[in-house]
Structure formats: C-alpha cells, structure tokens
Structure 1
Amino acid sequence: MDKIREVMTQSGHHSAEEVGSAIGASRTTARRYLEYLVGVGELLAEVTYGSVGRPERRYTQLR
C-alpha cells in the first residue's frame, strides 16, 4: 500500500498497468489496491476512452 501511495503522489494520472509496473506487481494487484483507495476517498478514478479498444480507468491523487 505504501508503494502505491508513493507512486500516486507523483504528478499526473496513472493506470493500473503503470502503477503495477512501477511497484513490481501485476496490473490486477495494483487495480485492487487502487480501487480500495478510491473507495476510502484517497483517489479519484476517471474513465478515458481511446479510439479503439476498452476504456481505461486513470487514477489521480485527491488533495
């Protein structure tokens, strides 16, 4: 959890894949922690749509 919070304090929006890569965990593991932090009000999740493929959830630190 501390590693997730450390990555999220960096500027910008992060996907679960980016966070997982940064902490050395799978995308699924990172997503579970990120969704927990959204649930407790520490992060904000936004859905972004690309031109092709599935929508992606991007996470931002709430201040």
Structure 2
Amino acid sequence: MDIQVCAVKGPLGTCWQVRLGKHQVSFRNEDEARQFVATLQVRVQAPHTLPGERRLAG
C-alpha cells in the first residue's frame, strides 16, 4: 500500500495530509498524521481471517 504524508498549504494555513492511493485524510499537524499512519500500518499488517475461515486456537 502506498502511503504518503505531506504538508498542504491552504487558505487557513498549512495542514498535513495522508494520501492512500486516491484517498486523502487531512490532519492539523504532522504528529497527528504520522500517528494515523502508524496505527494504519499496524492494522494492515495484523492477521486477518477471511469470511468462512476458522481461526485455529493457538
């Protein structure tokens, strides 16, 4: 997954955007944007069970 963090200048000043392909999420500051990316990466890398699959007890 291509994830980018960049500063964007707008009429109200600079905000930070996280770009996920065609999707963009704006944040008030860089720390909030990078925290979002860190949380997203943990969730994407977490094990997932597809519908109909049973997770083995381990």
Instruction: Answer yes or no: same fold by TM over 0.5.
Output: no
Which protein has the larger Cα radius of gyration, Structure 1 or Structure 2? Answer: 2
TM (norm. structure 1) is: 0.33
Higher RCO (CA 8 Å, separation ≥ 6 residues): 1
TM (norm. structure 2) is: 0.36
More helix by share: 1
More strand by share: 2
